[in-house]
Homo-oligomer: A and B are copies of this chain.
Amino acid sequence: MSNLIPEPAVKRMPMYYRYMQKLETEGRIYISSRELAELTGLTASQVRQDMNFFGSTGRQGCGYPVAEIRYDLGRLLGLDREQSFIIVGMGNLGMALVHYEPLAEKGFVLSAAFDNAEEKIGMCVGGIAIQPMNEIENVVKMQSVKLAVLTLPSNTAQEVGERLYQAGIRGFWNFAPVDLYLPQDASIVNVHLDASLEMLSYRMAHADLF
């Protein structure tokens, strides 16, 4: 199990997880692939394929057990335990992410924050004092943090990324509009906010084609 889930199905996992959470709080016990398809805008067939990829425990004639699927998806996504993270670059976006509720709710815990600007060092965010970036290596090694949020200007992102990797960080949530090049065993997710807005702009300009 957990074997080789195709990339497109992996991308759908957080959405399934979100709907399962919602259904669970609504007290729903079972849900059929047909109904789940309606909610998500997929086909029932695809929902069943995906559930099988995820190692489904559906019950024929009845549907999928909501609480169980929610739990299993959470485990697959690594949300069954707390994960500490550091954040590097305390500009507006960095500040906003530190306070972003859904992260704390999903078990992501801020363990340190870094910036190089004199006037920011020592400032308190989310109950934590901002430290200068030359402390990164110490902190990452001491606390063996594996996850970092990069809210940096594009021209320093690659360099800082490499330093973080050296220090032991293996997961990079990158908000700088550049692609990071790091060794194979680093996991990188780029958010590329500007690209996402450009896609919207494209769709608006060509809405007549749909």
Oligomer: number of copies? 2
Q: Is A134 an interface residue (CB 8 A)?
A: no
Kindly specify which of A62-70, A73-81, A110-118 makes contact with the partner chain.
Answer: A73-81
Q: Are A204 and B77 in contact (CB under 8 A)?
A: no
Per-position 1/0 for A175-210, Cβ under 8 A of B: 001010000110111011111111111111111011
In the complex, the answer to whether A173 meets B196 with C-beta atoms within 8 Å is yes
B193 touches A102 (CB 8 A): yes
Nearest CB on B from A202, distance (A): 5
- Please tell me if A55 contacts chain B, counting CB pairs below 8 Å: no
CB-CB contacts below 8 Å: A83-119 with B: 83, 91-93, 95-97, 99-100, 102-103, 106, 108
Q: Which size class do A's interface residues fall under?
A: 35 or more
Q: Which residues of B contact A202 (CB under 8 A)?
A: 10, 13, 76-78
Assess whether A15 is interfacial by the CB under 8 Å rule.
yes
Q: Which of B14, B97, B207 contacts A170 (CB 8 A)?
A: B207
Known contacts A14-B192, A210-B184; A103 and B197 CB within 8 A of each other: yes
- Which residues of B lie under 8 Å from residue A194 when comparing CB positions? 14, 102-103, 106
Q: List 16 A-B contacts (CB under 8 A).
A: A2-B206, A3-B209, A10-B202, A11-B199, A18-B177, A77-B201, A79-B198, A92-B99, A93-B100, A102-B194, A106-B194, A106-B198, A170-B204, A170-B207, A171-B204, A187-B207
Extra contacts besides A95-B96, A103-B197, A187-B203 (12): CB < 8 Å: A2-B206, A4-B209, A11-B199, A41-B179, A78-B205, A83-B201, A92-B95, A102-B177, A171-B200, A171-B201, A173-B200, A187-B207
State the A residues within 8 Å of B (CB).
2-4, 10-11, 13-15, 17-18, 41, 76-79, 83, 91-93, 95-97, 99-100, 102-103, 106, 108, 146-147, 170-173, 177, 179, 184-185, 187-189, 191-207, 209-210
